[in-house]
Amino acid sequence: MKTRSSVIRAIVLFAIPALLAACAAMPPKPVKARNFTVPLLQGGKVSLSDYAGKPLVLTFGASWCPHCQHEMPILRKAFEKRKDGVQFLPIFVKSNRKDALALLKKNGMNGKVGWDPKGRIADLYGVTGMPETLFINSRGRIIDDYFGAMEPSDINNGIKELLKSDKAKAGK
């Protein structure tokens, strides 16, 4: 009887926590990104499906968020230097349009920038804080996400993984 309880105790104390730790260390299976259409700050609209077949960095931020403001020049530099087909779509969430446009101008950001004034797109993706960045491969799967302001090394590492995901699936 004592041996049986010792075995059960060992399982509870060692095997179950080890199994849980192993599961937690496993990368999540890529999830299909949900399509959306969002107005652009500059006028017009854009949909996720417009980026089909292209790797995409989708960033949720806000004009009132100091971490997002810190990240803006880093994103701009990342936009400018990409020559590998990676697309970017920042989306301002629950932000005043004038404030968001002023922030874009201050940081010299060009290109498409979404505006999600009620936070519907952010809710669709389960965004609970700003900034949050999703890395979506060319097959439309979210392969990674990053919560918080990215530094250059963070965005570069995310893009490396994004491109590696595309090459691995293509068999290259």
- Residue 16 has what pLDDT? 53
* CATH superfamily to which 30-170 belongs: Glutaredoxin (3.40.30.10)
Asked whether the beta carbons of 160 and 144 are under 8 A apart, the reply is no
Q: List Cβ neighbours of 155 (8 Å cut-off, separation of 6 or more).
A: 57, 74, 75, 78, 133
Asked whether the beta carbons of 92 and 41 are under 8 A apart, the reply is yes
User: pTM higher than 0.85, yes or no?
Assistant: no
Domain ranges of the chain: 30-170
Amino acid 105 reads K
Residues of the chain with pLDDT below 50 are 19-27, 172
- Residue 84 has what pLDDT? 74
Nearest to 92 by CA among 52, 49, 127: 127
**Spatial separation of the C-alpha atoms in residues 103 and 118, rounded to whole Å:** 19
